[in-house]
Every structure is written in structure tokens, then in C-alpha cells.
Amino acid sequence: MASLAKPLLLPSVLPTTCCNRQHPLAAVAFKSNFLQGQSLSLSSSSVTCLTSSKTSPIVCAKVNKGSVPPSFTLKDQDGKNVSLSKFKGKPVVVYFYPADETPGCTKQACAFRDSYEKFKKAGAQVVGISGDDAASHKAFAKKYRLPFTLLSDEGNKVRKDWGVPSDLFGTLPGRQTYVLDKNGVVQLIYNNQFQPEKHIDETLKLLQTL
């Protein structure tokens, strides 16, 4: 009788924590990558895990609360270069979103639009960033009457520099909001992929305290 094949043995200790925060999805991801012969590296020295609530997905980001994020210069919807340093001296809300004209992103953009006067009253600027080109941003802003700046991060370089995470399954660019104070220091990082309008509520709450 032919001998049975030996079972595949997974390591006895799975790296189910990221930055000392346990999360059940980490074990699932590790097992999946292990079975596919891939490696999964989780380094607590280079990332910080954040969650918007007890039930929200785990988030590992390079830009932390209390830090000054990498600067950038990108083209806006009119094709003009805009640098992050332009907004220094006033609070700024920088939100990364997956793409123009998608349902969640449209809902989020319109929510920022509808609350824009509240942001102005708080002395804050709003800046949206995605990988779409300037022409796409211009059409998106015109169609929904968006009064704020949209920047084109083609190639997603700034997204990578800031460490903006992908969505839960890594299929789409993630949705993440940063609130910077007048000195350019991050005071809030908020991630909620599936309830985009909550970004507005959370950012306004913080701006009212700055």
C-alpha cells in the first residue's frame, strides 16, 4: 500500500499580532500566504496599527498621529501644481480615496461639499487625493459642484509615501483621512472603507477642538 502523503504543517506560532495588537485576520492572511508559498512580513518598528473603532479593520500606516507627513507637489483639477506646504498656517484635511465617480467616493465627496461651509468656519482647507488624472478630477468636480481641491497622484507615489493602506482584501486603494493642524502636524488619522460619510463627522469634531 502506498504511503499517505505527509500533511502540510503550519508553524506552531502564527504572527497574529501587528504592532502588539492582536487581530484574527492576521492569522488568516498568514495562513493564506504561507499556503501559496509567499511570505508575510509584519514589522512593528516600521508601522503603527490604528483602528477607527473596536470593530473596524486593522490599519497599518507609516504616517502617525503627532508626525509631520512627507511633503508633495501634485497637479490639481485645473492642471496647476499644488504643494502641501501651501496649506501651512491653517488646518488642512487631506483625504485619500479610491477613484472618481465610484459610489462610495462620490458619496464622500458630496458629504465634504455639503459640509464645506463648516470646514471654512473652522478655518480648514479640504484636499482630496486619488490616482485619477487632472481631467478626471475636473469632470468629477464640475459634475458634483465640489468647491475644494482635488489632486492627481498618478502612480500612487504619495499614497505609498504616506503608507495609506489598501482596503480589507487589497483589491482597491484605501480610503483614509488625515487632519493636519496649522503647523502641519497630524492630529487625526481616520480609516473607514465602508462608511465614507463618517470621515466628515470625525474630522469636524476634531477641527472644532483645534
Torsion of CA 18, 24, 30, 32, to 10 degrees: -150
Q: Give the Cα-Cα-Cα angle 78, 79, 84 (nearest 5 degrees).
A: 95
The answer, yes or no, to whether residue 184 has pLDDT greater than 70, is yes
What are the tens digits of pLDDT across the range 129-183? 999 999 999 999 999 999 999 999 999 999 999 999 887 666 778 889 999 999 9
State the average pLDDT for the chain.
75
* Percentage, residues of the chain above pLDDT 90: 52
Q: In the predicted model, what is the mean pLDDT of residues 100-113?
A: 94
Q: Is pLDDT of 90 > 50?
A: yes
Q: Annotated catalytic residue: which of 18, 60, 105, 110?
A: 105
Span 1-21, pLDDT tens digits? 444 444 434 333 333 333 333
pLDDT at residue 28, rounded to an integer: 34
110 is catalytic: no
Residue where the block lists cell 462620490: 106
Q: In the chain, where are the structural domains located?
A: 17-46, 73-207
How far does the chain reach from its first CA to its final CA, in angstroms? 75
For the residues 35-55, what does the mean pLDDT come to?
34
Pairing relation of β-strands 125-130 and 92-96?
parallel
pTM of the model: 0.69
Q: Which of 16-30, 94-108, 154-168 is the least confident region?
A: 16-30
Does 57 or 153 have the greater pLDDT score?
153
Q: What is the pLDDT of residue 21?
A: 36
pLDDT for residue 168: 62
- CATH number of this structure's domain 73-207, picked from the four choices 3.40.50.10860, 3.40.30.10, 3.50.50.60, 3.40.50.170: 3.40.30.10
Supply the pLDDT for residue 182.
Answer: 92
Quickly state the pLDDT bin for 195 (edges 50, 70, 90): confident
